[in-house]
A and B are shown apart, each in its own frame.
Chain A
Amino acid sequence: MSAPTLEVRNLRTHFFTRAGVVKAVDDVSFTVEAGKVMGLVGESGSGKTVTGFSILGLVDPPGRIAGGQILFKGRDLATLPEAEMRGLRGNRIAMIFQDPMMTLNPVLRIDTQMIETVLAHAKVSREEARQRARDALGQVGIPSPDERLKAYPHQFSGGMRQRVAIAIALLHKPDVIVADEPTTALDVTIQGQILAEAQKLCAQFGTALVWITHDLSVVAGLADDIAVMYAGKVVESGPVTQVLDAPLHPYTLGLIGSVPSRNKRGEPLRQIPGMTPSLLNLPAGCAFRSRCPRAEPGCAEPPPFAEYRPGQHARCIHPHQEAVAA
C-alpha cells in the first residue's frame, strides 16, 4: 500500500519564551488517508491550531518544531527547506485559518487577493483566474459573487469573511486541507453547504481533511476518525463512532457531557471542574489529574498511549472500559 496522505508522528512544537518553554504540542500522532476526514477536537488552548501551523510550516519564532515527523505522502515536511514548502503551501497543502483575517489582507479587494492566489500556482489567464475566484465564492454560498468580488474584507460579515477564506483554500483542490474551526461563525444552512463541499472534495479529489473544531455534532456527521487533545497531547483517538459512543478517556467523557443539547434547558450546563493547567509548568504525570474524577496515585506517572480497543487509543491508566450510557 502507498503511504497515507498525511501522517503526523510524535510531533512536538514548543515556544521558547522568556517565561519558559511552552510545550504547545507535545507528542501528537495521527494519520489521514486520502479522501478521509480526521476530526481534531479538544480543550481550548490544547494545541490544535499550533498542530495545524506545524503541518503548514508556519510556526514563527520563538516557536519551532522540536521533534517528530510530518509525513506528506511519505516526505517529511518538518525538515523540508522553506523554498520547497512554499511550492506546496496553498497549492497541495492548504489551511483555513481560525481567524479569517490571517488569510485576508484588509487593504486589498477580495478579487485581487483571490486572483493572485490562483495565479500563484496555476498558469491561466487573468480572466480565467477571475472566473475561478467567482465560482469558488458561489460554492461557499456567497450571493452576488460578481459584486462581492469588488468589496474589501471589512465590508463582509464575520461569517462571509470565513467563507471567503474557505473559498481561497479550495481554489487549488489541495491534497491536504487543515481547516481550523472553519464553520464556527456559520449558521446551520451555510454550514451544511460548506460541509457538503468538503465531502465532495474528499470524494472527488481524494483530499485528506484535518477538521479542527469544538463542535462535536459536526465531527459526528463529517469525520471518519477523531483525535482528542488535552494540554498539548492527543489523549484519545479512534473511529468517530467508538470515541463518541464509548469514550475511554475521562476528558472525552466530560467533553461529551457538556454539549448543551444533552443538558436540560435553563439548568446549569455540566462542566468539567477545575481549570486548564498552564502549559508552562505542567505537573508530571497525567495533565488531567487535578480535574479527573478517576485519578489515583498511579496517575502521577506519565500514562502511556495504549490501544484499549481495536483502533481506539487512550492516554490513561484507568479508562472507562465499562459500557457508557449514551
Chain B
Amino acid sequence: MSETLTAPSAAATLAEPIIELRGVSKRFSKTLDFAGRIARRLGANLREEVVHAVDGVDLTIRKGEVVGLVGESGCGKSTLGRMVAGIMPASEGTILWRGRDLTSLNAAEAREAKLRTQMIFQDPYASLNPRLKVQEIVGEAPQFHGMAKRGEIESYVDEQLRRAGLDPALKRRYPHQFSGGQRQRIGIARALAVQPEFLVCDEAVAALDVSIQAQILNLFMKLRRELDLTYLFISHDLGVVEHLSDRVVIMYLGRVVEEAPAEEVFRRPNHPYTKALLAEVPRIEARKRAFAGVKGEIPSPLNPPSGCHFHPRCPFAFDRCRIERPALQQVGAGHRSACHLNDAA
C-alpha cells in the first residue's frame, strides 16, 4: 500500500461527509398501461416488470471531494445522481445530508439542502423550459433567493453566462435557438448561478467540443479550489474522469463494483469489469481501426444475472460467481472491489 496514492484525497478523508448513502436502492415498476390493467382484471397473467435501477449502494462523498461515477449505459448512474441531488426519493436505504436523514428535514431545511445541491442534467434540452428566455432560466432562482440585488440581476446573469462560455448578447433567446453544446452551457450557468456547494454533474460536458470542455472543466476546478465545491461527476469519458476526480466509483447494473482513488483505478484496476472498461478507451492516436461489438449478452436490469451481475461476460467467472453476490471489500488503501477472485488470493 503506497502512501502517495492516498495523498490527493488525504484532506478529503478528514473532511466531513456532505452526503452519505447507506444501502440505497431504487426500483421502477413498469406500471401496466391501461389495456394491460384491464387485461389483468379480466384474469390475464400479466406481471408488473421491475427495473432494479440502483441496488444497495453505499457511498460517502466528503466536502471538497471530486468523485467520478462511471459505468455502462443504463447501469443506474443518473438515477443515483438524482437521489444524491435529493430530487428523487430512494425506494430503500438512507440518504444522509450532512449527517442527517434527508427525509427527516423540515421544509425549510429541505429547501436549503436542495438549493445547496445543484444538478446539471444529462439531457439539457428536456431540462430547460422552452417558453423561458435564457436570462429567465438562469436568473430566476438567484433573484428569488436574493443572491443578486434587484437592480443587479441583469449583470449577475451576464456574468454567469460569460463564465459558462456563452455570449450574454444571446440572453434574450429561447432554448431552441441554441446549439446542443450551447444548451448544455445554459444548464451549467443555471446550476452555478445559485452558488451551490455540491454539484451533481450528469454528463455535463458530453456535448461540448474539447476546447469548450476544457474551459468548463477548468472552471469547475477553479471553483473547487476557491469555494471548496464538492462534485459527483458522472461521465462515460474516462479521460475526463481521470483528469478531474480524486476518487472513482464504478457501477455495473445497479451496483458499485469498484471504488478507489483515481490514480489507483487507472493504474491498478482490480475488478474484471473495470479492466474491460479501461481496455476499450478509444485513443486519438489509433487510426481507422475495426471496432468490436460487445462480447456476450448485455444483461438486462429487468432480469439481472444471479450472483455477480458481471458473470455472463466475465472471462474469470467460476461457479461461485453464479450463485453468490460478491461483497465490496478492501483490496488496498481506500480501494474496494466486489469480486470473488479477491478471496482466492
Q: Are B299 and A49 in contact (CB under 8 A)?
A: no
By a CB distance below 8 angstroms, the chain A residues around B289 are 221
Q: Are B169 and A49 in contact (CB under 8 A)?
A: no
A7 CB–B CB distance under 8 Å: no
Q: Which of B165, B203, B237, B297 contacts A158 (CB 8 A)?
A: B203
B44 CB–A CB distance under 8 Å: no
Q: Which of A101, A185, A217, A266 contacts B73 (CB 8 A)?
A: A185
**Nearest residue, chain A, Cβ from B273:** A189
A99 CB–B CB distance under 8 Å: yes
Main DSSP-derived SS at the B contact region: loop
Would A220 and B209 be within 8 Å (CB), given that A99-B125, A160-B73, A185-B122 are in contact? no
Q: Which of A119-127, A168-176, A253-261, A307-315 contacts B (4 or more CB under 8 A)?
A: A253-261
Q: Are A265 and B242 in contact (CB under 8 A)?
A: yes
Q: Which of A43, A188, A270 contacts B236 (CB 8 A)?
A: A188
Q: Are B280 and A184 in contact (CB under 8 A)?
A: no
- What's the Cα separation between A163 and B236 when bound, in Å? 15
**Nearest residue, chain A, Cβ from B210:** A258
By a CB distance below 8 angstroms, the chain B residues around A262 are 284
CB distance from B129 to the nearest CB of A (A): 15
A143 CB–B CB distance under 8 Å: yes
A206 CB–B CB distance under 8 Å: no
By a CB distance below 8 angstroms, the chain A residues around B167 are 275-276, 278
By a CB distance below 8 angstroms, the chain A residues around B17 are none
Q: Are B276 and A221 in contact (CB under 8 A)?
A: no
Q: Which of A158, A186, A259, A269 contacts B284 (CB 8 A)?
A: A259
Interface size class of A (residues with CB under 8 A): 35 or more
Q: Are B179 and A217 in contact (CB under 8 A)?
A: no
Would A44 and B181 be within 8 Å (CB), given that A187-B73, A258-B210, A269-B214 are in contact? yes
Q: Are A43 and B238 in contact (CB under 8 A)?
A: no
Q: Are A221 and B218 in contact (CB under 8 A)?
A: no
- What's the Cα separation between A124 and B299 when bound, in Å? 31
Would A181 and B74 be within 8 Å (CB), given that A258-B213, A260-B243 are in contact? no
By a CB distance below 8 angstroms, the chain B residues around A101 are 123, 125-126
**Nearest residue, chain A, Cβ from B51:** A155
Write out, one digit per residue, whether chain A residues 91-121 have a CB within 8 A of any chain B CB (1) or not (0): 0000000110100000001000000000000
**Nearest residue, chain B, Cβ from A272:** B211
By a CB distance below 8 angstroms, the chain A residues around B287 are 220-221, 240-241
By a CB distance below 8 angstroms, the chain A residues around B74 are 156-157, 159-160
28 A-B pairs with CB atoms under 8 Å apart are A144-B300, A148-B302, A155-B30, A157-B78, A158-B73, A181-B207, A185-B203, A186-B236, A187-B71, A189-B72, A192-B292, A193-B291, A196-B292, A199-B291, A217-B282, A217-B283, A221-B282, A244-B284, A255-B210, A258-B214, A259-B210, A261-B284, A265-B242, A268-B218, A275-B162, A275-B167, A276-B165, A278-B167
Binding site for B on A (CB under 8 A): 15, 17, 19, 41-45, 48-49, 98-99, 101, 109, 141-144, 147-148, 150-151, 155-160, 163, 180-181, 184-193, 195-199, 214-218, 220-224, 240-241, 244, 254-256, 258-263, 265-266, 268-272, 275-276, 278, 280, 326
Starting from the known contacts A143-B299, A144-B302, 16 additional A-B residue pairs (CB-CB under 8 Å) come to: A98-B180, A141-B298, A147-B49, A157-B73, A190-B73, A198-B291, A255-B211, A260-B237, A263-B243, A265-B242, A265-B263, A266-B8, A271-B214, A276-B167, A278-B169, A278-B170
